[in-house]
Structure 1
């Protein structure tokens, strides 16, 4: 008997207690309750069936023929003004992703982008140091502008100020997570789309004359039509700032509370890769991904009907006690198999390798080499935002 073929099934449980406001404050207690009481449940507050277990989310990622990415009326398409590759199924998805992969594989990351990541990290570290201990904010002075500048370079958008691109990313992410349909968020998305499209007019014209190794150039060289190029650049903007930005602050926040593990990283820098992987499990930067069933499917002992919108809560799956012993403990020596922080299967985040290099191998190790006493300012608290995409908006630091 396999996970998806259980004969005796039951109707969908309803989790009418789930409160999006509580999720925004701290989602993990609610995720735990979902896993314990109803790992597959209809949630009226978000108008979706939520899957919260590792096994359920992993199954969904392994079966894109059932869990389609082509979600009808999805918030992502509305936020960005078009349908990017992540909202398409193969073979159309694969055809659009292939040219992007040409510049995002580990070999290309090392040969083309690692030097730029290093120079950019050095630049923003100097700016944070200039702000001074007690005034510096790791997110505002380092993580956000660094992630945005790295992405400007990777997109070939040299005409864009990094903080403008970071604002577009924030708005596209807010729109993608706008499950409560707030008009103020849609208005922000519209403004950012217009600014992004204006910048892309110049970028695309320049790259047609002078191709380079950037993502945008690869999409153009592949013969992709202009609307698809724009949609997929906006997709890269939405995740390409948010995820590495939050991974920097998450990792520093966790190490600040794990002095023994921080000391191990000093003694053995080879552990940084595992520290990045464990931090991405503990605080998953992609909290939930959306799918739509194309046929009835059984998950555990629950039947999900066809044409149902699904939210696969990766942040919950990565805290599932059945997959990860002591999941609420940050442990850089954890041996629990792969996590789902960047998704898996055909839709695994294309920027995973870039984030691992830029954050886990360059930016955060550089922070501690240059500022060995770096720590959160005890007199100023951090602030968190979101649950579909969750991370710190402020992390005051001293050194």
Structure 2
């Protein structure tokens, strides 16, 4: 779907549809679906005049750009800021904001650290932790805010333990991650809101990445052990640990919230899960497709690149609407329905290609653990009031999700 134009070819974006929509405006963040539909229908490429970027919203084109790391560069930043000309607010991620060959060794290390052996080791303990948390919540009330009591509580309970950071201060992970994902967008009010705490939060997170702070058993220690073997350098090790702490909590919190919202609004699908708990993983991926906790990421044109009939000039920023692709009717039947009979594999909610989320299987295990514990005890999940969205330049999130559960 995309082809690289030889260097030196004159680039022109004539003929591309234009839009003055602001994808980061609060009304759009509250309900982005109409904008997604409009962009998909406008054409395979749309120029967003407000930010002078090119937008891709159709599934085939987003997927093609994600896998074409040679033409669509990550190392110039996966946000609006262009690292070719602008200094990033923190050292770039060795995974998300790097391309081969710099990207390769850290990726191999993290794939091994978060691989099947680690998940087997965690499965039993996380299942027990989920059972305990659900028991605690239900012993207090059957009506509560699912974001606070389940979606946030469980990842903050198990993931930092798995990384090996100390107990104290873990509540800082959420505002740090929130700011990191806001910073991928424009310098708007959402970024300004988090800026006063950047130095404090960054300093705390960076301190947790040091060898002497981490427990001797955990993902963090495994990353440092890889540096001892020479798989990565000692300078790279804390940055790889930081990648886990930056992207490993908020995204999972919002994915679990998405699942619970899906079941509260699709009660027939909750009954399907109760009847067949093995559908827990399908439930997770269908929620990631349907709600897309990570809505967007940027790339930069490495050279002049052609998408269909549009030639995108070298150095241009390209905004990929992962969420729009995940509801593209060209790819998905009845895309606005949350449906456990669907095969959601192929969704781009975790990206695709060499930059696909390396921690996705860890997130799946967290979600599977909490869903399994709930399915054993809960007959129905209903909304118990209007949910409140949390606005973020990159993430689709809930501030609160009032639910009422019926036991049975």
Query: Would you say 1:392 and 2:382 are equivalent positions?
Result: no
Asked if residue 368 in structure 1 is aligned to residue 378 in structure 2, the reply is no
Give the TM-score normalised by the residue count of structure 2. 0.87
The 1:316/1:79 distance shift into structure 2, 3 A limit, reads farther
- Structure 1 residues 171 and 116: alpha-carbon distance in aligned structure 2, compared to 1, 3 A threshold: farther
Structure 1 segment 1-399 matched on structure 2, within 5 A? 4=3, 10-21=14-25, 22-71=27-76, 73-74=81-82, 78-109=88-119, 111-134=120-143, 136-180=144-188, 182-201=191-210, 204-207=211-214, 211-212=216-217, 214-223=218-227, 224-335=232-343, 338-359=346-367, 361-377=368-384, 379-386=385-392, 388-399=394-405
Q: Deviations over 1:97-142 (max 9, x none)?
A: 1111122123431x222123223323432442344233x2111122
Shift in Å, 1:299: 0.8
Rounded to whole Å, the distance in 2 between the matches of 1:299 and 1:51 is 9
Moved more, 146-155 or 292-301: 146-155
Mean Cα deviation higher: 15-24 or 47-56:
15-24
Query: 1:81: how far off?
Result: 4.1
Output one character per residue of 1:304-331: Cα deviation in whole Å (capped at 9) or x when no partner.
1111111111111101111112211111
Structure 1 stretch 228-237 or stretch 323-332: which is displaced more?
Answer: 228-237
**Number of aligned residues:** 389
Per the TM alignment, residue 9 of structure 1 is displaced from its structure 2 partner at its CA by 8.1
Aligned-partner Cα distance in 2 for 1:301–1:320? 20
| Alpha-carbon distance in 1 for matches of 2:284, 2:360 | 11
* Cα distance in 1 for residues equivalent to 2:207 and 2:262: 39
Q: The residue matched to 1:92 in structure 2 has which SS? A: coil
Residue 333 of structure 1 aligns to a residue whose secondary structure is coil
Larger relative helix fraction: 1
Q: Tell me: CA distance 1:264–1:373, structure 2 relative to 1, closer, same or farther (3 Å).
A: closer
Tell me how far 1:167 sits from its aligned partner. 2.9
Asked if structure 2 preserves the Cα contact closer than 8 Å seen for 1:159 and 1:199, the reply is no
Moved more, 167-176 or 342-351: 167-176
Quote the offset at 1:348 in angstroms. Answer: 0.7
Cα distance between partner residues in 1 of 2:271 and 2:97: 42
CA-based RMSD: 2.7
* Contact 2:71 2:303 (C-alpha < 8 Å) held by counterparts: yes
Match of 2:8 in 1: none
Q: Within 2, Cα distance between the matches of 1:167 and 1:18?
A: 24
Q: How far does residue 302 in structure 1 lie from its aligned partner after superposition?
A: 1.1
Determine if contact 1:318/1:340 at 8 Å carries over to the other structure.
yes
Give the secondary structure class of the aligned counterpart of 1:205. coil
- By how many angstroms is 1:159 displaced? 4.0
- Normalising by the residue count of structure 1, what TM-score does the alignment of the two structures yield? 0.88
Instruction: Give 5+ residue unaligned stretches, structure 2.
Output: 6-11
Using the alignment, how far apart are the partners of 2:39 and 2:60 within structure 1? Answer: 14
Q: Deviations over 1:78-102 (max 9, x none)?
A: 3544443210001211111111112
Q: Partners in 1 of 2:172 and 2:194 — Cα distance?
A: 17
* Higher strand fraction (1 or 2): 2
Q: Is there any run of 5+ residues in structure 1 with no aligned partner, and where?
A: none
The Cα of 1:66 is off from its aligned counterpart by 0.7
